[in-house]
Chain A
Amino acid sequence: MNTTPFIRPCTVIWLLLIALTGVTYLVGQAGVSGMAIVGFVLITTLFKSQMVVDHFMGLKHVRPFWRALLFAYLLLVCGMIGVAYYISL
Chain B
Amino acid sequence: MDTLAQHDNDSLPGDFAIWIFIFAELLVFGVFFLAYAFSRANNVELFNESQMQLDRIAGAANTLVLITSSYFVVRAVAAIRTGNSTRCVHWLLAAIAMGGVFLVIKLFEFGDKFSAGISLSTNTFFMFYLSLTFFHFMHVILGMVILAAVLFKARSGGYSAQEHTGVETGASYWHMVDLVWLILFPLVYVIH
Residues of chain A whose beta carbon lies under 8 Å from any beta carbon of chain B: 1-3, 5-7, 10-11, 13-14, 17-18, 21-22, 24-25, 27-29, 33, 37-38, 41-42, 44-45, 48-49, 52-53, 55-59, 61-63, 66, 70, 73-74, 76-78, 80-81, 84-85, 87-88
Say yes or no: A57 contacts B175, CB within 8 Å: yes
Say yes or no: A62 contacts B13, CB within 8 Å: yes
Residues of A within 8 A of B116 (CB): none
Say yes or no: A81 contacts B71, CB within 8 Å: no
Say yes or no: A5 contacts B179, CB within 8 Å: no
Residues of chain B whose beta carbon lies under 8 Å from any beta carbon of chain A: 2, 4-7, 9-13, 26, 30, 33-34, 37-38, 40-42, 44, 56-57, 60, 63-64, 67-68, 70-71, 73-75, 77-79, 81-83, 171-172, 175-176, 178-179, 182-183, 185-187, 189-192
Say yes or no: B12 contacts A56, CB within 8 Å: no
Query: Pick the contact of B64 from A21, A38, A63 — CB < 8 Å?
Result: A21
Pair count A-B, CB < 8 A: 145
Given A3-B78, A14-B67, A84-B41, answer yes or no on A52-B33 (Cβ-Cβ < 8 Å). Answer: no
Query: Within the complex, what minimum Cβ distance (angstroms) separates A39 from chain B?
Result: 10
Residues of A within 8 A of B82 (CB): 1, 3
Say yes or no: B4 contacts A6, CB within 8 Å: yes
Residues of A within 8 A of B34 (CB): 77, 80-81, 84
Residues of A within 8 A of B4 (CB): 1-3, 5-6
Say yes or no: B67 contacts A24, CB within 8 Å: no
Residues of B within 8 A of A78 (CB): 183
**Can you name 24 A-B residue pairings with CB atoms under 8 Å?**
A1-B82, A2-B4, A3-B82, A6-B2, A13-B71, A18-B67, A18-B68, A21-B60, A22-B60, A28-B191, A44-B186, A49-B183, A52-B179, A53-B175, A56-B73, A56-B175, A62-B11, A63-B11, A73-B26, A73-B30, A81-B33, A84-B34, A84-B38, A88-B42
